[in-house]
Structure 1
Amino acid sequence: MAWNNVLCVYYSRTGNTRKAMEEIAKSLGAELAELEDSVDRSGWGGWLRCGVDAMRRTLPPVKCASRFPLTDYRLVIVGSPVWAGRCCSVVRSFLKQNGKDIRNASYVLTRGCEDKNEEIFEQMDRYTPCGHRTAVSLRAGSVGYAFWQEEFLRQTQEFLRTAGR
């Protein structure tokens, strides 16, 4: 079933979050929008900057090119890589600027380590008064990646069928 009033919004430095969000958006028939900031995050210097920005809770100016105002979406699925044990600064900035306009939120984290970093969901909830409805933490290349992504999709579709009106 296509959910044309669902937005999948994300930031991806290396492409892992982009890939996960593209798969989720395709499975749901949802709109996909990439967050952009003006900071050069390429190479090792960019990797280091990302970690420092996350630890300092830097809030860079962010652009999101969604088709409609966030208030028009039944669900906004926010995808973020994990930087230094936190959601990335680009996503934090987006949520701080726009979280109050999100009626229902779900979160997708992508990470490079074994730790699921599920405490980040609570960090993100600080900026979204509605809290999150579903959430998943994915590690590219891990054995459980496909299982957890499918479980997230199942829970999200159930939410949209029953409560996300």
Structure 2
Amino acid sequence: MDADFKTENLENAGTSWCEAMMIGDCGFDGNIQDLRLGHPKKGIGKAFCDAIHKSLSSQHAEKLLSGYGLSADTDDEMAFEKVLQTFNDIGFYPPTIAYAEGLGMQTYMYRFNELKSMAWPLAMSRNTYSGRCLLFQNYNDHLDDPQLRTADVSHMRCSNSFTERNHGRLGTAERAR
């Protein structure tokens, strides 16, 4: 192998000028992977199980798959949601925690876990689509009164928090570190 490897500590981009950071997650950020997958639901349970068995030891593969209730013969629709949940739990939540805890600067972490408020393609109870709708006010005409109040409060709190932080006033948000 012919390569140059860095052995010294590398500075994270932005740590010399960024004083604080806000990062967060929604309860089901991994659902955006449905776009990348292109909806190949037919046989996805078997394909995913085969890939996990090729990638992990038998013991770890079985532990992961049983933890998510996945097997080669899981119904395609259910398997698709469980695969996306696995992607979420591995690819979204841990990096959010790692950034919040490991950047060496003041970090604020939010968790947006609003119950699913409208009919979406995926039947998960919480998802990032509803978070976007509530935060950016995209679908207010489809919300009932309690959901509209949540949208207004969510929008106001996030807008105020972002504005305060951008102007050097940290406000009252809870710190992750």
Q: What TM-score comes out, normalization by structure 2 length? A: 0.30
More helix by percentage: 2
Q: Which one scores higher on RCO, CA 8 angstroms, separation ≥ 6?
A: 2
Q: What TM-score comes out, normalization by structure 1 length? A: 0.32
Structure with max Cα Rg: 2
More strand by percentage: 1
